[in-house]
Structure 1
């Protein structure tokens, strides 16, 4: 019914708006009270509603003017709610301030931990680089030693027996000096 009245209403530019509103209110359908429904609100109820609406409006305008804050509606478990209340009470903060404090501390700690881990990673990379350089230096020196030994072996004549080989050959041709028959039997074995 309301939609029908509003849809059929066309403003008349010749009559004031207050008169048009009064005529609309007169033709507005009455609200019938059924059993179990609330009774119409009296003057006191209307004043309370108006006061609530005014305070809500002023709160809305204040929040809209403040650019440093934003309202949030959070859906959390009841256990978290209890923990936040306990934390806020322990720190003597409001719930909003406690949540802000926790978030700020968490972000600050995360940044600090990130810095620490990046520093450790950089230090470990430097240590690994130093170890790699040391190992490469050892490999280079050993490769140079191997090359030098190969060059010495290449220059060493293979035809002549070495002093060690000569000493081995000379000991193998030594004959026993004792002419006992027991030594001859051992030599035959």
Structure 2
């Protein structure tokens, strides 16, 4: 059985990494886990499969991080989103509601919000759920727009979610005109 790691050293390595953020470059302070649950700091044996531990924080974002994200989002929304954008702050909804007029003149009203991991966008109007399929229109049955190929379908920032939702609306205009969604290789054979 492997020796138990020094928990104080393990805590120091992990907390230092979390405070330094993703820019850290301390290969000597990596933490890895062996096949049977052994924890290694620094040099680990090379005679077995190892998994490197992602040293990010376990908990949800701190209040400070959430506040910073909200301030960044407020600046972006004020300077880059439609003038009609409204911040909604209710117990059941917290995010940005906005309407855009697509390249073909159709008005789309959307709601962008942070789900704890990514920014999602829901289509509020027009009501298209059930009229176009999830594959055909990149619109989930719950009204959420699929903005990426990952399982969660969101984007990492409000800026990326907003800009992708505008592109999606133009693609949806094409779908509503009877053609395939033009902006996804997943629709090439439709």
Larger radius of gyration, structure 1 or 2? 1
Q: Which one has more relative contact order, counting CA pairs under 8 Å at least 6 apart?
A: 2
TM-score for the superposition, normalised by structure 2: 0.18
Going by fraction, where is strand more abundant, 1 or 2? 2
